Amino acid sequence: MSVGFSVVPRKNPSKIDDEPKFYAQAQARGDMDFDEICDDVDSRCTVTKADITASLNGVIKTMKMALGRGEIVRLGDFGSFQISVSSHGAETEKEFNSSMIRKARISFRPGKALSKMLKALDFHQVAKLPIAPQPIPIPEKGE
């Protein structure tokens, strides 16, 4: 398996005056959606696409409920999912309250099967993706 990468300049945020250094950035070559996953699994086994779709939808619903209860969801060698949060800081533990939580996200930690796959990858350099044009701000009246 081969993954494409491009080389991009990045500045060190703690040394803003230093020249940027160049780093690899993975470049996706497409995506695979839910329906395509179900089609692919269907082609590899005797289970029907409808059964696969129903099973995966059931797994997603169960994961949502478990994560919503604060549980870690472990899917064997695939990996685990857990809620993590970002918050504003408080001077003392007593001053902290839940309104200081800015956002929640789902953290994924790959299991053995995916971690092993990562070790077997090779890489090839590709062209940089074009930068999306930024909209030009339109001044409001009176500016």
Dig out the tokens for 84 from the structure: 């993590």
Taking a C-beta distance cutoff of 8 angstroms, is the pair 3, 26 a contact? yes
Model pLDDT for residues 65-100, shown as the tens digit of each residue: 999 999 999 999 999 999 999 999 999 999 999 999
Give me the mean pLDDT over the 28-33 stretch.
90
pTM here is: 0.72
Give me the mean pLDDT over the 30-44 stretch.
93
Taking a C-beta distance cutoff of 8 angstroms, is the pair 80, 106 a contact? no
Nearest Cα neighbor of 114 from 72, 73, 59, 77 is 77
Domain ranges, ordered by start, for the chain: 31-70
Identify the pLDDT of residue 135.
73
86, β-bridge pairs: 103
